[in-house]
Amino acid sequence: MSENGAKIVVIDRAGERHVLDTVEGWRVMEILRDQNTGIEGICGGSCDCATCHVVVDPAWADRLPPARDEELDKLDELPLIEPTSRLSCQIIWSDDLDGLTVTIPEAA
Amino acid sequence: MSAERSTEPKRYDVAIVGAGPTGLFAVFELGLLGLNAVLIDTLDKPGGQCAELYPEKPIYDIPSWPVITGQGLTDKLLEQIAPFKADFFLGRRVSGVTRQDDGRFVVSTDAGDLIDAGAIFIAAGAGCFTPRRPKLEGLDAFENRSVFYAVRNRGSFAGRDIVIAGGGDSALDWTLDLVSIARSVTLVHRSDRFRAAPASVSAMRALEAEGRVRFVEGDLAALHGDDGVLSRIDLKTRTGPVEVAADRLLAFYGLNIELGPIAEWGLDLADGKLIKVDTEKFETSTPGVFAIGDINHYPGKLKLILSGFHEAALASHAAFKVVRPNEKLRFQYTTSSSELQQRLNVAPIAEAAE
């Protein structure tokens, strides 16, 4: 896991808060899936299934690279999204995201 | 390649549930052993996730293919299994499986097909693609009566007050189509950004300008009605709630993947969504029913396409013993066996060299 000890904070579907280790260069989806947070990532990061949908803490939303059209289109399919919804497979972890907080919404 | 809808059970050696890469390759391995197969899939095309989710995405871990797309892999597998002339039952979901007195299975589909098979391979990947359902209270009661995720009987929408939800091609296409027979059409999407063909969006805007289509920028909030008969839909918009009189809702929110009815087949499961198998035959807790590819679970399982190929080969050999109990399985290689080369419709190498 990350040598710098950067952490991601995850609030799971049961509302429980977890502080998880990270790996520089991994997709956030992979970090969440690897640690059994309930994220499926069925399409393997192809931005195609939306099973890695997370809601980013609004305080962090502007600090992430903006979503590309492909991601916006896929999010747009979901019946329910929030203004700071993202697909976690489209966020590559870097240690300067230390403390990033995301909520896993109920599965669509 | 596609099979006609049938009510008489058609007889096959193996029924394969799921036409993704693993299911397709199972046709090949079964074919080498002289066994025929039928493939059943909820999607309307073969290839599974490779064709539906990432047809254009490159895959880098298929042996001997440094890079190949999901569709490219599907096309190559179809080419490879062509000699075995498998039947495809596409756009159908398996609705039931029963075991007969002679040990064979009858598989039924939601389209009314009946398939008689000596063994079953479940190669269903992550499960079946099903429409994403909006989270609305009491939705179940309205589904298939007033709420639909596809248009099956277009005539039943005539004279209706229809709400169409979604911002992709399906939502736009049906808005443009149904406006000619509906009493009213209201399109609901959370923003004025659509994922549909620009021409469809322009056509919808033109109908809106004529007052023939109403577009509401918002989300579905609640359904109202009695006994599954819809009368009104509440929408949530940025400027406040909006009520729409409606007796039909068409929701187009794309596809989700779920295990579906396989969960109720009584097989031993891991985590409630993977099927437990042994690693010799890839057989489930029910003899004669095998599970291969992403849907199975065993110690050390890796969800890779190449694992599915390996599992298909071993399950095929095990299935031979189930459907041909009185015959001896002779293990042969395609490089040297003239019998296998005949099955593959290729000239035996020795003769070709002469």
**CATH number for the domain running over B10-129+256-323:** 3.50.50.60
Instruction: Average the pLDDT over each of A5-9, A28-32, A104-108 and give the range with the smallest value.
Output: A104-108
B190 touches chain A (CB under 8 A): yes
B219 touches chain A (CB under 8 A): yes
Sequence length of chain A is 108
For chain A, what is the largest distance between any 2 Cα atoms, rounded to a whole number of angstroms? 39
CB-count burial class (<10 Å; 0-12, 13-18, 19+) for B307: middle
Tens digits of residue pLDDT in A65-92: 999 999 999 999 999 899 999 999 999 9
Which residue bears the tokens 């970090």? A31
Query: What pLDDT is recorded for position B354?
Result: 44
B-chain residues near A78 (CB < 8 A): 132, 253-254
- Domains detected in chain A: 7-103 (3.10.20.30)
Which residue bears the tokens 């004025």? B192
**Sign of the C-alpha dihedral, residues B229, B235, B241, B244?**
negative
Is residue B23 classed as helix, strand or coil in its secondary structure? helix
Mean pLDDT of A29-48: 90
Interface test with B, best of A39, A51, A72, A80 (most B CBs within 10 A): A80
Instruction: Mark which residues 67-86 of A lie under 8 Å from B by CB.
Output: 72-73, 76-81
- Test B49 with A73 for CB contact under 8 angstroms: no
Query: What pLDDT is recorded for position A108?
Result: 65
Residue B335 is classified by DSSP as T
Residue of A nearest to B48 (CA): A43
Tokens of B34: 């002289």
Q: What is the dihedral of CA B88, B89, B95, B100, to 10 degrees?
A: -60
If pLDDT is split at 50, 70 and 90, which confidence band does A1 have? low
- Quickly list DSSP for chain A: --TT--EEEEE-TTS-EEEEE--TTSBHHHHHHHTTSS---TTSSSS-S-TTEEEE-HHHHTTSPPPPHHHHHHHHHSS---TTEEEGGG-B--GGGTT-EEE-PPP-
If pLDDT is split at 50, 70 and 90, which confidence band does A40 have? confident
B296 C-beta neighbours (distance < 10 Å), count: 28
Percentages (nearest 5) of helix, strand, coil residues in chain B: 30, 30, 40
Average pLDDT of chain A to the nearest whole number: 92
Strand (E) or helix (H) holding B169: helix B169-178
Rounded to an integer, what distance in angstroms lies between the CA atom of residue B207 and that of residue B200? 11
* pLDDT of A2 higher than 60: no
Chain pair A-B, CB pairs under 8 angstroms: 56
Strand (E) or helix (H) holding B330: none
B256 touches chain A (CB under 8 A): yes
Residue B46 sits at φ, ψ, to 5 deg, of -75, 160
Query: What pLDDT is recorded for position B258?
Result: 81
Residues in chain B with pLDDT values less than 50:
1-2, 353-354
Q: Chain A: nearest CA to B43, how far in angstroms?
A: 15
Q: How far are the Cα atoms of B123, B287, B306, B312 from residue B309, in angstroms, in the given order?
A: 11, 21, 5, 5
Q: Say what percent of chain A tops pLDDT 90.
A: 80
- Quickly list DSSP for B123-151: --TT-EEEEPPP--TTHHHHBTTTEESS-
If pLDDT is split at 50, 70 and 90, which confidence band does A3 have? low
Strand B248-251 with B161-165, pairing = parallel
Query: What pLDDT is recorded for position B251?
Result: 97
B-chain residues near A72 (CB < 8 A): 193
Give the start-to-end residue ranges of the domains of chain B: 10-129+256-323, 133-253
- Let me know if the fold of B10-129+256-323 is the same as that of B133-253: yes
Is residue B333 classed as helix, strand or coil in its secondary structure? coil
Q: Which residues of A83-99 are buried (b: 16+ CB within 10 A; e: fewer)?
A: ebbbbbbbbebeeebee
Read off the amino acid at residue B154: R
Instruction: Mark which residues 13-52 of B lie under 8 Å from A by CB.
Output: 49
Mean pLDDT of A12-33: 95
B126 touches chain A (CB under 8 A): yes
Q: What angle do CA B81, B94, B73 make, to 5 degrees?
A: 30
Rounded to an integer, what distance in angstroms lies between the CA atom of residue B70 and that of residue B57? 6
Q: What is the dihedral of CA B303, B47, B5, B112, to 10 degrees?
A: 30
Query: What pLDDT is recorded for position B1?
Result: 43
- Quickly list DSSP for B28-55: HHHHHTT--EEEEESSSSTTHHHHHT-T
The question of ipTM being above 0.90 is answered as: no
Q: Which CATH superfamily is domain B133-253 in?
A: FAD/NAD(P)-binding domain (3.50.50.60)
Task: Find the CB nearest B257 among A49, A77, A79.
Answer: A49
